[in-house]
Amino acid sequence: MLGAAMLEQTVQIVANERDRNLYFRLVMRAPQIAPLVQPGQFAHLRIPPLKAALLRRPFSIFQVEDDTFSILYKTVGQGTEVLSRMRAGEELSAIGPLGHGFTTPRAGGETPLLVAGGYGMAAMFLLAQRSPQNGIVFVGGRRREDILCEDEFRALGWEVRATTEDGSYGEKGLVTQPLLAEIQNPKSKIRNYKLFACGPTPMLKAVGALAAEFDVPAELSMDEHMCCGVGVCLTCVIPVKSGDGWKYQRTCTEGPVFDARQIVWEGIR
């Protein structure tokens, strides 16, 4: 009955530095949470300087190292702005690791093809790191500065193919274009593959459509607004198939990662 292990912990900031532009990397000492993290899980952070904004903010866990974990975040509003001004030594409250993450590929199994948009890259790093076989990461963004942590993936020995909508870096266009090209490439060495994706909802929808068209398995990490993060408030639901109909499931608990075939896209904003 009890879900996967999670806990609340006061974590100390080890580093909180600008990655580029609006993106920051926050490293926290969290000896209890760090060892439990699975790829695709998230942490729910309470940002103490926020007073009138009550809720915690959810962030995918980017990297885990010894007794620390880190997140890669973009400043988009009051919580992330305030967070970006916090300094090493200051403390936050974290609940984690939360959610049902990606299925780590089996040795000798399908080749993982990762599809990421923006900070979606952060959610996929652990998956790449813990995968027994290397694959390809397709990363897309609006501009050059939205293409994050490529070097880390390359350092793992993964191939990275970047696209930008304005053509300022990599191939010009949408991330699904090179993905489609790879799937359709008759000369590709990859026989058996599986898609994993994290990014904006329209991107996930496009990946889901490709997976359905070519009948390949795909796991998608859905980005829904959250409140409690632990399954009690029923804020974060998305419609998933159930028998002949559909039902709501919680992104924070049954997700954020869902099998693409389960998602009822007509019901998603």
Partner 1 sequence: MATNQGGRACAVWFGGDALNLSVQLGKLTLQNPVTVASGTFGYGVEYAQLLDLNQLGAVTVKGIRLHPVRGNPTPRTAEVTSGLLNAIGLQGPGVDGFIQKYWPFLKGLRVPTIINIWGTTVEEYAEVARRFDALGGVGALELNVSCPNIKEGGAQFGTDCHLLAQVVAACRRATALPLITKLSPNVVSIAPYAKAAEDAGSDALAITNSYPAMAIDIETRRPRLANVTGGLTGPCIKPIAIKLVWEAAKAVKIPIIGMGGVQTAADAIEFMMAGATAVAVGTANFYEPQTALTVIAGLRAFMERNQIQDVSELVGSVQTPGRKSAPATANRPAKSPVENPPAGGYVGPQ
Interface residue list for ligand FES (CB under 6 A): 226-229, 231-236, 250, 252
Check binding of 26 to partner 1 (CB under 8 A): no
Contact stretch for ligand FAD (CB under 6 A) within 51-59, 101-109, 168-176, 210-218: 51-59
Q: By C-alpha distance, which of 16, 60, 57, 55 is closest to 38? A: 60
Smallest distance, ligand FES to C-beta of residue 58, A = 8
Using CB under 6 A as the binding rule, the residues of this chain from 120 to 179 that contact ligand FAD are: 122-123
Angle in degrees, CA 114, 125, 72, rounded to 5: 115
CA distance linking residue 225 with residue 20, whole number of Å:
25
The binder of 248, among ligand FAD, partner 1, ligand FES, none, by C-beta within 5 to 8 A per type, is partner 1
Given its phi and psi angles, is residue 231 left (phi above 0), alpha (psi -120 to 50 degrees) or beta?
Answer: left
Smallest distance, partner 1 to C-beta of residue 232, A = 3
Check binding of 237 to partner 1 (CB under 8 A): yes
Give the x-and-dash track for 92-131 against partner 1 (CB under 8 A).
-x-x------------------------------------
- Strand order in 159-164's β-sheet? 171-172, 159-164, 136-141, 111-117, 193-198, 218-221, 257-259
Q: Are 58 and 42 in contact (CB under 8 A)?
A: yes
* List 59, 153, 193, 258, residue binding ligand FAD (CB under 6 A): 59
Check binding of 93 to ligand FAD (CB under 6 A): no
Contact stretch for ligand FAD (CB under 6 A) within 31-39, 145-153, 184-192, 220-228: 220-228
CA distance linking residue 198 with residue 140, whole number of Å:
11
Beta strands in the chain (DSSP E): 7-20, 23-29, 42-46, 57-60, 63-65, 68-74, 91-98, 111-117, 136-141, 159-164, 171-172, 193-198, 218-221, 237-242, 245-250, 257-259
Residues near partner 1 (CB under 8 A): 1-3, 5-8, 46, 52-56, 93, 95, 224-225, 227-228, 230-238, 247-248, 253, 267, 269
Residues near ligand FAD (CB under 6 A): 42, 55, 57-60, 71-74, 76-80, 119, 122-123, 223-226, 256
